[in-house]
Amino acid sequence: INDIMNVLHAINPATEEVVGEYTLVDVKEALSIAKNCEMAFDKWGKLTLEERIEHVRKIADELKSKREELARTAALEMGKPIKEGRREVDKCVFITEYFCEKACEFLKEEEIDIGAKKSYVRFEPIGTILGIMPWNFPYSQVVRSAIPTLLLGNTYLLKHSTYVPGCSKKLEEIFSASLPEHVFANVICRGTVASRLIKSRYIKGVAFTGSVSTGRKIARIAGADLKKVVLELGGSDPFVVLKDADIEKTVEGCVKSRFKNKGEACNAAKRIIVVKEIAQEFTERFVERVKSLNVGDPLDESTEIGPLANKEQLEKIEAQVSDALQRGAKVLAGGKRLERKGYFYEPTVLVNIKRGMRVWKEEVFGPVAPVVIARNESHAIKLANDTKFGLGASVWTRDTEKGERIAREIEAGMVYINKVVSSDARLPFGGVKQSGIGRELSRYGMLEFANIKSVVVQAV
């Protein structure tokens, strides 16, 4: 950010070159945009659900037509390998089409017999929702937040990460081409401006994905006026490998889960916990596979690991690994940044991990896999729960009944057995402990910003 010129520069993390220049919106402009969203709510919220679906369905078509353009912009602004960018756009299409298909079912009035002439529950919009979104999934995070909210009848104001202004502009174009004016809007602004928006009378709720510290600040500001918040604050997901796990499938699952999106995913496997009987074989195969990953230009079709999204992320990963090494950890693969232009870090495997290390107690948002050996199954569960986070977890075992039993003991919002943790529009997404408040996706997520209204009619 150039404070003198009030300009934001988008930086390509693979080359460290400027790829875009954007004017920052000030408080006055941001409030004016929010006011327009509130005014648009009066009409949008009164349309029939079928009319709203007709508008929102067009967004899926726009996303399909701009798939390559969107994937390229994400590669240039935050380093996502272009083939992963295409998959992210495809997911956005699925989310949009799914909620258009299910909206009538999810929002149907529910009749409840309480002995009156008539009694039912209906689901009404509450106004303009401010979405404060992260850079790591610059499209799907917005789409999964905005689409169900819009179908419900709310309007949506996006404040995206300043690392992906081009991505936010692309989304603004797509939504604006499909919806009535001001139903969806985008502000490129500083965090201080976003704080002022939360306080304003135009905003009725806040959806946020990001760090715990920022989530706390948002909750405090919104809480002053008791505004509804949904906070998705990341995690340190355990990847639990039991002694009867299928080694080959588990290793592939671990590589995919830890290194997807170059490790910059809230629901990535961040602590690899392996029962001792299988630890040596698993670790050897895992290290071999990690060493084979191709690090390179995100625009190259063969690239599996792109650069970290920004310099701050690279420096944090370096500091976390350095802390681990100083405390006795050992590097089996990677362990350092690449000696080249860009924010590249080698896919890394660490062993001899201890509880006090930053790679254990903090979220590791990059291509670093700490491997810990558990004495037995109960110790593995204890290690899995030894975290302030509680987003997702996975358990790998041939005994699926045992996997389900362990799932009930793990403190997380999502537990997958023999499958990589992922987001799916059909399932609620969210966590416990410091991983946040509320849910996204599914019917549960769709109703987060609804006025769940009871209506009772008694005969005179």
As annotated, the active-site residues are 232, 266
Q: Is the separation of the CB atoms in 376 and 384 below 8 Å?
A: no
The Cα 122–Cα 112 span in angstroms is 11
For 194, the token pair is: 């976003």
DSSP per-residue codes, 94-152: HHHHHHHHHHHHHT--EE--SSSSEEEEEEEE-SEEEEEE-SSSTTHHHHHHHHHHHHH
Residue located via tokens 């689409």 = 147
For 407, the token pair is: 């799932």
Degrees to nearest 5, angle at CA 272 with 270 and 276: 165
Q: Is the separation of the CB atoms in 443 and 427 below 8 Å?
A: no
Question: Which H/E stretch holds residue 286?
Answer: helix 276-291
The Cα 142–Cα 72 span in angstroms is 17
The Cα 418–Cα 249 span in angstroms is 8
Taking the CA atoms of residue 137, residue 143, residue 145 and residue 151 in that order, the dihedral angle to the nearest 10 degrees is: 180
Helix axes 67-78, 49-65, angle to 10 degrees: 70
Per the DSSP assignment, residues forming a β-bridge with 230 are: 207
DSSP state of 337: B
Query: Nearest CA to 414 among 392, 434, 396?
Result: 392
The Cα 124–Cα 455 span in angstroms is 12
For 262, the token pair is: 């170059």
The Cα 332–Cα 287 span in angstroms is 7
For 356, the token pair is: 């006090």
DSSP state of 25: P
Q: Is the separation of the CB atoms in 272 and 393 below 8 Å?
A: no
Chain centre distance of CA 267:
8
